A and B are shown apart, each in its own frame.
Chain A
Amino acid sequence: MTMDKAYDVVIIGGGPAGLTAGLYATRAGLKTLLIEKGVIGGQIANAELVENYPGFPDGISGFELGQLMHQQAMRYGLETIGAEVVALEPGGKTRLVRTSDGEYVARAVIIAGGSELSKLGIPREERLTGKGVSYCATCDGPLFKDKTVAVVGGGDAAITEALVLAKLCSKIFVIHRRNQLRASRILQERAFAEPRIEFIWDTVVDEIIGDERLEALKTRNVKTGEVSTLNVSAVFIYIGFSPNTGYLKGLVPLDSAGLVITNERMETTTPGIFACGDIRHNSAKQAITAAGDGATAAMATERFVREQG
């Protein structure tokens, strides 16, 4: 192992939480590495427009917001690699982070891995991903211009993406298992006013139909039990998020949903391991609260590293 793979802090995850932690840690003079397995910005990078991050009165694209946060942290020396963490070993004075692209030693680790969009968990979902099944309307929506598509879900992400698709597709069915939306009021009002969006209430998707590409969805009304076939060219799935904490089992306390339990300083009960952002139990799951968590975590980490000497 070469010395240049040793850091004061390794941050796992490059969303608003991890990037803000990186900004604070580097400004505190800590040698800091950020590991991101996907896109800098994390979940927010997929949002076409972020309207609730203060400081951007006209809104900002989620991808650009992530890039700007990254640039700001890099100004102070944040290093970044693209890799996936496969294991974390707590150890005594240092912690070992194993990744798909080598091993890194850190005095402290900040877990900011956020969450991924949940899958429906039904047959052909995985096989037809990228063949009509999508988790990113901003990416794949334009490939279904003037087509009929479906969105599954009723939260902010589902409705935001349905509104993105309304600018491109001829018809958008929003399939939701309840009879009212969870999304914020302003998004609901926009969606109800959009003539291309039609809501299918109290309904779940049981089956994805198609061999080479998605052709239709088999849906079921949960109140009446009525089963229908809905012909669509694409389905965009936004039924919630699952935390990326598989490799943390047995290492730090997790709640029943797999989220990391911390105190208000973002400390886990395992010394030298901190967690912040959406991956944390009780997180408000907003870019701005994740950023706040990141700052708190970096400050607690700085104190831990200095006390360890």
Chain B
Amino acid sequence: MAKPFDVSDDKFDEEVLRANSPVLVDFWAPWCGPCQPMGAIVKELADEYGDRMKFAKLNVDGNPKIASKYGIQGIPTLLVFKDGKPMRQIIGLRPKAELKKELDQLLG
């Protein structure tokens, strides 16, 4: 069972940008209500898509560099990286079915 891993400002380059598979990064913070169910959905997606891509969580509280580099001004926000580039941005809580459609499209 694949699980989302926590990523920090320092490790972002190594663990996300230079990863050899696409990585979905869930930008969240403990103070944010809608981030909680989004986190639960990301956990389920990691379980279902874990063999094809990676799932990371970045707590914007304590990791401001990456959040500001990618212009995160609202959370939850999901960013999917492929070959070091952000391919798709999804802002705000969405139903799981909608996110699955996005991932299916991205993974082709």
Contacts and interface: CB of A to CB of B under 8 A. Distances in A.
Interface of A: 37-41, 45-46, 62-63, 82-84, 100-101, 129-132, 134, 136, 138-140, 142-144, 212-213, 234
Interface residues of B, number: 27
Contacts of B95: 37, 82-84, 100-101
A234 B33 contact: no
A146 to B, nearest CB: 12
Interface in B24-44: 29, 31-37, 40-41
Contact of B91 (A84, A129, A138, A212): A129
Given A130-B91, A136-B74, A212-B71, 15 more contacts: A39-B93, A82-B37, A82-B40, A82-B95, A83-B95, A83-B97, A130-B77, A136-B33, A138-B32, A139-B29, A139-B35, A139-B74, A140-B75, A142-B29, A143-B74
B83 interface: no
A162 B93 CA distance: 23
Contacts of B71: 131, 212-213
A143 B34 contact: no
Nearest to B89: A130
A39 B37 contact: yes
A138 B33 contact: yes
Contacts of A39: 33-34, 36-37, 93
B104 interface: no
B67 interface: yes
A234 B73 CA distance: 9
A131 B37 contact: no
Given A82-B96, A100-B97, A101-B96, A136 B34 contact: yes
B101 to A, nearest CB: 10
A238 to B, nearest CB: 15
A225 B67 CA distance: 40
A140 B40 CA distance: 19
Contacts of B33: 39, 41, 45-46, 62-63, 136, 138-139
A131 B73 contact: yes
Contacts of B73: 130-132, 134, 140, 143-144, 213, 234
